[in-house]
Amino acid sequence: MDRKTVVSISADSSLAEVALIVAAALTRHGIRAVLTGGACVSIYTDGAYISRDADFVIQTVAAGLQQKVDGALATLGFVRNNDRYVHKLTPFYVEFPPGPLSIGDDLDIRPVELRVGGGTALLLSPTDCCRDRLAAFYFWDDRQSLERAVDVALHRDVNLRVIKAWSIAERRRKKYEEFLRELRSKQATR
């Protein structure tokens, strides 16, 4: 994906572009929100995986926050429809799942900054994106999330020691070993 200046959302915008444009707009409006979930996977796999939404966990606490979020997204053409924001030009929508920002029991999540369109977007690091997908596999046995974690690890440098230590702390060593087997199997066929 070309991360040069992308200023508006069009019918041709990818999920990654939409997510990064939204993230930068939130930052410009003084709202600290971290991109998580499938949109991060889409970014880190260069579009090999596409979700239908961009999930942001808001870390800002302020009076009138809902109106600030509404205003920030309105500048991009999004309108609120119940718990999601929709845009007439794109099938992708934006949601704000409740915080705090965590992965399993780990609350010490340090987002990374990505420069986009003259602004800054906050998102999970590749390692945390991988752990985020693994959490769905570990706790809900979501096999697709296991596949997405493997995809991220194939496309980006992830810290397997951090993932292993977290997996053990979450009491999911066997599922971590399954992740590692899947990863090694895919690496061998590349």
pLDDT at 5 over 60: no
Distance CA 95, CA 105 (A): 22
Tell me: do 80 and 93 sit in the same domain.
yes
Q: Are residues 83 and 33 in the same domain?
A: yes
Residue 19 lies in a domain: yes
- Count Cα atoms within 13 angstroms, Cβ side, for 10: 4
Structural domain count of the chain: 2
CATH classification at residue 67: 3.30.460
Residues 6+ away with beta carbon under 8 Å from 181: none
Shared domain check, 92 and 49? yes
pLDDT of residue 1: 42
Q: Residue 39 region, left (φ>0) first, then alpha (ψ -120 to 50), else beta?
A: alpha
Tell whether 135 and 181 lie within a shared domain: yes
Q: Considering the domain boundaries, does residue 4 fall inside one?
A: no
- The reply to whether 107 and 143 lie within a common domain is no
Same domain, 95 and 28: yes
pLDDT tens across 73-99, in order? 999 999 999 999 999 999 999 999 999
Dihedral angle over CA of 140, 148, 87, 26, nearest 10: 90
Final residue of a structural domain among 124, 158, 177: 124
Among all chains, which residue has been given the structure tokens 């979450």?
170
- Establish if 162 belongs to a structural domain: yes
Whether residues 109 and 150 fall in one domain? no
Residue 129 has pLDDT above 80, yes or no: yes
36 and 118 both lie in a single domain: yes
Is the domain of 30 the same as that of 76?
yes
- Read off the pTM: 0.90
Among the residues of 29-76, which ranges form H helices? 37-44, 65-74
Domain residue limits at 168: 127-188
> How high is the pLDDT of residue 34?
97
- Residue 80 in any domain: the answer is yes
Q: Is residue 3 part of a domain?
A: no
Looking at the structure, tell me whether residues 32 and 109 fall in a common domain.
yes
Residue 114 near residue 34 (C-beta atoms within 8 A): no
Q: Are residues 109 and 142 in the same domain?
A: no
Cα distance between residue 153 and residue 2, in whole Å: 21
User: Do residues 98 and 65 make contact, with C-beta atoms less than 8 angstroms apart?
Assistant: no
The position carrying tokens 């977290």 is: 166
150 with 89, same domain: the answer is: no
Is residue 66 a contact partner of residue 80, using CB atoms and an 8 Å limit?
A: no
Residue 9 domain flag? no
Check residue 30 and give left, alpha or beta (phi > 0: left; psi -120 to 50: alpha). Answer: left
Say whether pLDDT at 4 is over 50.
Answer: no
| Tokens, residue 111 | 């987002």
Q: Which tens digit of pLDDT belongs to each residue from 19-31? A: 999 998 999 999 9
